[in-house]
Amino acid sequence: MNLPTDYATNRFPLTLTRREALRLIGLGLLAPGFPSLLTGCGSDDDDSSLTYAATIADARAAILKAMADTHTPSVSVALVDDQRIIWAEAFGVIDKEKNLAPTTATRFCIGSCSKVLAAMSTLILVERGLVELDAPLVRYVQDFAMLTPEAARITIRQLLSHAPGLPGTNFINLFTQTPHPEYSAQTQAALAEERLKHDPGEMAVYCNDGFTLIERLVEAVTGRSYPKFVTEEILAPTGMTDSAYPLEPLPAGSFAPAFVGDAPQPQEFTNGFATGGLYATPSNMGRLARLLLQGGILDGRRILSAASVAEMARDQTRTLAFNPVPTFQWGLGWDDVSQKGLAAVGVKAWAKNGGTLFYGSEFFVLPEARLGLAMSGTTLSYGSAKLAERILFNALVESGQLAAMPVPLAATPLPEVPVDDQTLAAMAGYFAKYDAVVKVEVQADRALTLSTYQSGVWTEAAKNLKYRTDGTFSSDASPLHAYRPLTTDVGDYLVVRIPWGYGHCLLELPYVQRIPSRSARAPGWDERLGRKWLLVNEAASSWILRLEPPRLELEALPTLLGYVAATFMGTQLLDASQDGRRTRMWMKIPVNNGRDLDDLVIEDREGEEWVRFGRGVFRPLDSVPVLQTGGVSLTIEVEDHAQWLQVSASGTLAVRNAIAWLLYDADFAFQADGEGDGSVALPGSGKPAWLMVYGAPGAVVEVQIIA
């Protein structure tokens, strides 16, 4: 499940920003080209006379319009029942120079839809008596440990249902242009230096780290790498021949690339295999849907027991200690085992969404209606969830299982009523979520204004929020987006209500948590405010280094005593009142807005204060050497960290004996990169530029500016 960071406001852009994509963890343009078509294909056909012609015609038109509206280069889709592929089709372009269209064999990274296979893999081990779902991870991965002793209680079930209490996501080397198969081992090692953010099983918060640890589990129990196990036990037996974890670059033309303008981008490797790394086709995922519809059997071969399929689809949120706004009924690997858009029309559906930096996917299985759908595209903004629901609604109508298409809700404001001071007080003040601070202010007319703070800037997100007859606050301009206060024993929250999927139903979820009062910041933090640090332990092939400034800054909001705001890929508010060298993550927000939290730790290195924030290591910007003219020799540290140089604004920069290097302008916007020896013209803006240099440990890299 991946929700845009502004889903709770009145602003819904057609495309996500780079920062939003990084947290949801695409760009591109649609080019001419006719789609390839596969209808009722393969050896899976039966004698059904239902062609779903109306469903397919409507879906084609809707997909093409969504692609045009959002500049999405390519989309592929497959609709299946339990016996056959009903329809599979690919749209758009994968090579603009050759005007090459995708086919139904073209692969897309399916992102978090990969989690369904992680759950299946685990349950295969359960069936073989090698793993128990409710046993602790440390029984199998005996070297797993964290700073919080309670981490030893984390169970396999909690890893698969977002309830382990782990920080969230290891972004270091997660999205790269070359494979990094050691990512899961690096994640486990990094977790050894981190705390839990809540007790195991206390609540469920979207957690990629938990699925990454499933890789460690599979390897420990079977002696096989996770990609090898899934390939041998699921992909090969089910005939998913166009699906693979890319341990090396895929052949050109075999996958759908993202585009910037007319330029295809290098392949995206999502190195968290279990959490989001599979490249697959919707047709192949349709085979997986058919297996689940048939209770674990495909083409007469049993892959998974019917009991395991049922366990995956069991609501895992029923035993949570803290679940004040039951939003999604998470299964094992599933985002929802009663998907809200289908449930609103009385249809049972299991659903999983997947998003990476460049790909957006959906995977639906309707166990009672005997239908399944898989869809992937090369942006996150083409409305995959809405399209998926639309296609399934049409198929249900055409097959006689639904009387009529649902009608999107009318955006009609409810009547405004007077609001008492107590309700206003519950709404007003400062709140936070994982990547922003939120301020709610009461205006003279007793309406509310909501603003978000990110990277030093307050931005108005919603205004003229008036109190309505249903006890929520909403604006006349966007009446379906509403807010209400919620008080619990854990903390005070604002709950947001939003239109969902096709737009015919509403969904509530915890939005932000009120910021608790704290005393003054501990000694040392005030002196660090306004300082900047530069990332050094991200791989040279990282997409994050090219999409996001590799810079961390600490600042404070004057009204929030005891806190510091760390800005890197969003702004996280941290408790700095308890310790002068370690801030504390403090939020407990279920579902999605409490994800990806981290402590920030100060480390002394040769007289300098370095920062460890989550899994990132950052060196002080103010001690970076300055290179004006002439040259300099840099010795690469044994830890293999990148070196930084501040270089003059103009001239030609030459690099020798490096493995790789990246050039940024004065504001840390990415400009150019290279491997090995090379040269590049500097920005020439009048302000110094920044150079990030990689080399072999102990190597001496030569950097020179040629006028």
The model's pLDDT over 225-245, given as tens digits with 9 standing for 90+, comes to 999 999 999 999 999 999 999
Q: What is the pLDDT of residue 345?
A: 97
Bridge pairing between strands 643-647 and 626-627? parallel
Is the pLDDT at 650 greater than 70? The verdict is yes
Is the pLDDT at 292 greater than 70? The verdict is yes
Q: What is the mean pLDDT of the chain?
A: 92
Q: What is the pLDDT of residue 153?
A: 98
Q: What is the pLDDT of residue 82?
A: 96
Q: What percent of the chain has pLDDT over 90?
A: 85
User: Hey, what's the torsion of the CAs at 212, 216, 219, 222, to 10 degrees?
Assistant: -100
Tokens of 239: 């005939």
Is the pLDDT at 31 greater than 60? The verdict is no
Contact 591, 605 (CB under 8 A): no
Is the pLDDT at 580 greater than 60? The verdict is yes
Q: What is the pLDDT of residue 442?
A: 98
Is the pLDDT at 429 greater than 80? The verdict is yes
Block residue for tokens 């782990």: 166
Is the pLDDT at 20 greater than 80? The verdict is no
Is the pLDDT at 12 greater than 50? The verdict is no
Mean pLDDT of 530-552: 96
Write down the pTM of the prediction. 0.93
Q: Where are the domains of the chain?
A: 28-398, 421-514, 525-607, 624-706
Mapped onto helix, strand or coil, the DSSP state of residue 64 is helix
Q: How far is 343 from 366, CA to CA, in rounded Å? A: 11
Q: How far is 278 from 430, CA to CA, in rounded Å? A: 40
Q: What is the pLDDT of residue 501?
A: 92
Label residue 472 by pLDDT band (50, 70, 90): very high
Burial pattern 617-642, b for ≥16 Cβ within 10 A else e, equals bbbbbeebeebeeeeeebebeeeebb
The Cα diameter of the chain in Å comes to 77
Q: What is the pLDDT of residue 683?
A: 78
Does CATH number 3.40.50.1970 belong to domain 28-398?
Answer: no
Would you state the CATH architecture of domain 624-706? Sandwich (2.60)
SS3 per-residue string spanning 124-183: HHHHCCCCCCCCEHHHCCCCCCCCCHHHHHCEHHHHHCCCCCCCCCCCCCCEECCCCCCH
Q: What is the pLDDT of residue 115?
A: 98
Q: How far is 387 from 307, CA to CA, in rounded Å? A: 31
Is the pLDDT at 291 greater than 80? The verdict is yes
706: Cβ contacts below 8 Å, ≥ 6 apart = 651, 652, 653, 654, 679
Q: What is the pLDDT of residue 48?
A: 62
Is the pLDDT at 41 greater than 50? The verdict is no
